[in-house]
Copies of this chain bind each other. A is one copy, B any other.
Amino acid sequence: MQNRLAKPAKRLPVAPKRSGGGTPRLPTTILGVDPSLRGTGYGVIRTGKPFPQTLAQGTISCPAGWERSRCLAKILATLRDVIREHRPTVCIIEGLFYAQNLQTALIMGEARGAALAAIAEAGLEIYELAPRKVKQAIVGYGAAQKIAVAKMVQRMLNLAELPAPDAADALALALTHAQENGRFGLTAPKKI
């Protein structure tokens, strides 16, 4: 049901609402994920006025001593639990378009694979956003520093404390999607 209601907003981002003129669009619950093997950030927001509500945020930390496969299992299990609890209908994941070398790309790919499998299995629609685009949308500058993103996320979500860097990146992804969905966009988000 939530899913059905959320869909038109995604397919046709600028469509006028069917019921009444000035009422705000139906709230959407959005999951943002910034995957990495040792510290996957996640954040769940629910769109609304005057600012979106933060339902969950955190970092899936895996100590350096853990085997890679153990980290992947933790990413899978944690995201599954977060989705089960907060029922987001859309997920925005950080797109990776650069890696230092093949080994790094492989390991980053593994973390993304575990995350995406959990999210896709739960039936969310998944979109990819480039880090640069997120920074541009949140801070107004594509090469903004991590701390600047975190501070702006804190302000936009009216959080009492500064979110941890990975969680802030994840919340920024969700916020960017919420923003882009509410205005004309030149490019549709990339579905993966």
**Contacts of A63-89 to chain B: CB distance below 8 A:** 67-70, 72-73, 75-77
Number of interface residues of A (CB under 8 A): 33
Partner pick for A108 among B72, B106, B120, B192, CB 8 A cutoff: B106
| Interface membership of A112, Cβ < 8 A | yes
Interface presence of A109 (CB below 8 A): yes
Give this chain's copy count: 2
Q: Are B99 and A105 in contact (CB under 8 A)?
A: yes
Q: How far is the CB of A170 from chain B (nearest CB, A)?
A: 17
Contacts of A92 in B (CB 8 A): none
Q: List which A8-64 residues lie within 8 A (CB) of chain B.
A: none
Judge if A186 is at the interface, Cβ distance under 8 Å. no
